[in-house]
């Protein structure tokens, strides 16, 4: 099988697996226990905190371990909203193509009387920092904008957005789940106040993530319970998972240059290959995207059929459409960059991993071409397009 769905999740690295298995076997003490065996687990936990902090340019006491990216997003946004409410500031700026962990949290706040401004991400899938500045008001308590988009991989001008937020004294959170471990992220250089990340997106385990909270920025626990994580996240820490995530992150960050050098030409080769398919288009900016992401729309076909036929050919990819999750709505990300419903339904996301070979790449291009042509062969939409009964959009 050729696995090209690394934006959904990644294979755990050998270092991450080794760390995890060693710890569950040998260091199973509770880090809150005062005896030596508990303190060994505590030492492992604190070393992981130092490693994670170093990987993003933070201080160890600025890291809160969570169950993943979704929890980190929820905690950051709900905390900023709570503080905003106390100060009489109930306006939040975000974008239309955030992950649902952000969008659904913002919707919840909207029902509680917050006003949410969702900025346009334009055709290239990139937010404009000047538009962020124009959207900030006296009563804005938070700007939350993702670092890299999970479907189309486009990278946002985080440093500039952070600068604008500093200038106006507004807290800035970024969902960096698709960026950390894939591109260089430094919370100081990037002017970030809060950042969410998730272990399973950079070869760590699932169900573990972290939230960076800059010293001085207020944060509340979402979970009532014990005093773990300095009272900011109750619940016995998942020490093996956390240490395993830290091992994966350390390795990913050390390999960032090699990762970029290997995957950028592969990504561009696939984009070039797929561009030979008539009536198709790349989604998102061609260059300003993570090295691993290719996202294409093909007119006249359904993304789900494309995925299933690629699966038959041994290729595990993803569709931007939400149909797979039981909804008939096309991807909100593709709609946000201006794709119409029919076109957004025919999308394919290929998210690469470092182990991809040249042979895999050529096989993927050939297979996608074959499957698109095959599906168009019996698509009534395609027949109408060819017969001139409908206008081509792409
Ligand atoms: C951009 C983004 N944010 C948040 C999440 C949620 O992360 P987790 O699966 O760790 O809860 C994901 C996962 O797909 C993501 O891609």
CB of 98 shorter than 6 A to ligand 1: no
Q: pLDDT per residue over 66-84, tens digit each? A: 999 999 999 999 999 999 9
Phi, psi of 260 (to 5 degrees): -65, -45
How far the first Cα of the chain sits from its last, in Å, is: 31
Which ligand 1 atom minimizes the distance to the CA of 98? 1
Q: Where residue 321 falls among pLDDT bands split at 50, 70, 90?
A: low
CB of 177 shorter than 6 A to ligand 1: yes
Ligand 1 centroid distance, CA of 80 (Å):
20
| DSSP structure string for 139-205 | TEEEEE--SB-TTT-BBP-HHHHHHHHHHTT-EEEEE-TTTBTTB---TTTTT-SEEEEEGGGTTS-
Ligand 1 centroid distance, CA of 369 (Å):
30
Average pLDDT over residues 129-156: 98
C-alpha distances (whole Å) from 106 to each of 18, 84, 345 are: 38, 14, 26
Ligand 1 centroid distance, CA of 175 (Å):
8
Same fold, 14-254 and 256-387: no
**pLDDT for the residue numbered 330:** 87
Q: pLDDT per residue over 172-230, tens digit each? A: 999 999 999 999 999 999 999 999 999 999 999 999 999 999 999 999 999 999 999 99
Average pLDDT over residues 343-372: 97
**pLDDT for the residue numbered 320:** 66
Alpha helices in the chain (DSSP H): 14-26, 36-56, 69-86, 100-111, 129-135, 158-167, 239-254, 256-274, 303-312, 332-336, 341-345, 358-377, 380-386
Q: Where residue 236 falls among pLDDT bands split at 50, 70, 90?
A: very high
Phi, psi of 217 (to 5 degrees): -85, 130
* pTM (two decimals): 0.97
Q: pLDDT per residue over 290-319, tens digit each? A: 999 999 999 999 999 999 999 999 999 998
Ligand 1 centroid distance, CA of 99 (Å):
7
**CB count, 10 Å around CB of 86?**
10
**How many Cα neighbours within 13 Å face the side chain of 115?**
11
- Its CATH class, for the domain covering 14-254, is alpha beta
Annotation: CATH topology of 256-387: 3.90.1150
| Average pLDDT score, the chain | 96
CA distance 195 to 387: 51
Average pLDDT over residues 123-133: 98
The closest of 108, 130, 106, 107 to 120, measured between CA atoms, is 130
Q: Whose Cα sits closest to atom 4 in ligand 1?
A: 69
Our mutation pick for probing the ligand 1 site, out of 5, 94, 99, counting the most ligand atoms within 8 A of Cβ, is: 99
**pLDDT for the residue numbered 323:** 45
Q: pLDDT per residue over 40-55, tens digit each? A: 999 999 999 999 999 9
Average pLDDT over residues 354-358: 97
**pLDDT for the residue numbered 324:** 47
Our mutation pick for probing the ligand 1 site, out of 69, 179, 322, counting the most ligand atoms within 8 A of Cβ, is: 69
Q: Where residue 329 falls among pLDDT bands split at 50, 70, 90?
A: confident
What is the residue extent of each domain of the chain?
14-254, 256-387
């Amino acid at each position: 099988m050729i696995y090209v769905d690394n934006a959904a999740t990644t294979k755990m690295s050998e270092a991450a697996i080794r760390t995890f298995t060693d710890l569950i076997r040998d260091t199973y003490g509770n880090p809150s226990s005062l005896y030596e065996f508990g303190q060994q687990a505590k030492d492992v936990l604190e070393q992981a905190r130092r490693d994670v902090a170093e990987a993003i340019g933070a201080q160890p006491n600025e890291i809160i371990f969570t169950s993943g990216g979704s929890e980190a997003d929820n905690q950051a946004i709900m905390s900023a909203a709570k503080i905003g409410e106390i100060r009489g500031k109930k306006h939040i700026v975000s974008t239309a193509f955030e992950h649902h962990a952000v969008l659904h949290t913002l919707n919840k706040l909207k029902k509680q009387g917050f006003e949410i401004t969702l900025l346009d991400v334009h055709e290239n899938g990139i937010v404009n920092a000047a538009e962020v500045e124009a959207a900030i008001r006296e009563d804005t308590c938070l700007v939350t904008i993702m670092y890299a988009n999970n479907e189309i991989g486009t990278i946002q001008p985080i440093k500039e957005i952070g600068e604008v937020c500093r200038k106006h004294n507004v807290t800035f959170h970024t969902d960096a789940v698709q960026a950390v471990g894939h591109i260089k992220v430094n919370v100081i250089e990037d002017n970030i106040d809060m950042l969410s990340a998730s272990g399973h997106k950079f070869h760590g385990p699932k169900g573990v993530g972290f939230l960076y909270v800059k010293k001085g920025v207020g944060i509340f626990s979402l979970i009532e319970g014990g005093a773990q994580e300095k009272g900011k996240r109750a619940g016995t820490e998942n020490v093996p998972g956390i240490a395993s995530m830290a091992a994966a992150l350390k390795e990913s960050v050390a390999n960032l240059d090699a990762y970029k050098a290997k995957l950028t030409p592969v990504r561009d080769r696939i984009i070039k290959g797929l561009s030979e398919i008539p009536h198709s288009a790349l989604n998102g900016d061609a260059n300003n995207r993570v090295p691993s992401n290719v996202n294409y729309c093909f007119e006249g076909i359904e993304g789900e059929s494309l995925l299933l036929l690629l699966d038959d050919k041994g290729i595990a990819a993803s569709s931007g459409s939400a149909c797979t999750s039981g909804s008939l709505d096309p991807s909100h990300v593709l709609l946000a960059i201006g794709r119409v419903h029919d076109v957004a339904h025919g999308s394919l996301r290929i998210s690469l991993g470092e182990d991809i070979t040249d042979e895999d790449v050529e096989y993927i291009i050939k297979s996608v071409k074959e499957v698109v042509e095959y599906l168009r062969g019996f698509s009534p939409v395609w027949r109408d397009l060819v017969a001139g009964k409908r206008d081509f959009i792409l």
